[in-house]
Structure 1
């Protein structure tokens, strides 16, 4: 079997495995949809160029996408540490291709909650311009790659069977602190601006809100962009450090 065929076969098998993981898909898809139905349905009050329902749609899609990329990238690192890497080494699938496959699978799975939540939002009253829907969806999807690096970093720094649970569990906390689940204000909002999820979610919602906050005030565009760039650098540095530590332990 050629290298390309092996890569595609492994990608298809891994994607099917991820989609058949009922527990994982619950947290990636079902939970964000449920949270949208609780917080977003009936939110007809105007927000930016749309309404509250659209605001919640983007937020919950971001949460679902981040959960997907964090979980899958974290599991990739865990598999390598648990010896799966030795099995992969016996196949034509080289480490670089392995990482590319995992990244592709993570982004593919991340597209599932985004598509479903946007569909549910459209059917239950979420309103915005065409550009609000398209641009925000792209930003949610592409931006979730930052948390693929985050999941990898956490799994490398805290090796063991619970590393993925640690990474995905922390996403919940980061989402609360990042102004994703509930609108923050005052000192808590000031602190939130320095957390990883804040810039990602704010950038995804920017086409809708133009930086205006539900609780008052406005974030300039440079703030979420800078946040995403800085945290990407931080997570990348941590992942590299974790990789070096894992090699030293061997």
Structure 2
């Protein structure tokens, strides 16, 4: 490493202890100021936690739809269909969480199911953004992967993302069922999809509610898979019901 790029011990000391730098004064923070800042931080955290309650109440009011999604998703995936999911930013992480639960497992051991997070296809995503524009990154993947009877689940706190709206348009032309999980409604994405669960809460709390909703769907999904596994007693194979031998 050249001298120009090395950091000397004296430089580190100066960075760690600003008082060593000429012309700077160390500001003393009074104990009362510290206590005030701590109280303000505590209040902010408690307010955030309090704001989770409306998200939970909103989900409870739509628990019937979440249960129905879990059951329908199990029935479709057991018949060989797949789930496509997408979102932007934090919503992308939430969508990927769901696909991981389906390809892997949620609570108990079972067969893997086909679920693809479109935003996780990094080479395809960047190529499509570069060649067609970011608004088309999900729509073109839906056209590539979507088959009649599949489900496309889209997550967005705002419900206004253009690339998700374009994906709905592509899905409609392929007879792919579209579900939206959004923040407060009405919003364009919820209106465009076949069905939607809208969470009436602040954006951050709505996104936290999305994870709870996804886990609720997984519970209904696994229950339906187990229920259908009773078909084994009627001579069906493990593969037909998605149960590992």
Q: Where on the TM-score scale, by shorter chain, does this alignment land: which range?
A: under 0.3
| TM-score (norm: length of structure 1) | 0.27
Query: Going by fraction, where is strand more abundant, 1 or 2?
Result: 2
Query: Going by fraction, where is helix more abundant, 1 or 2?
Result: 1
| TM-score (norm: length of structure 2) | 0.27
**Bigger CA radius of gyration:** 2
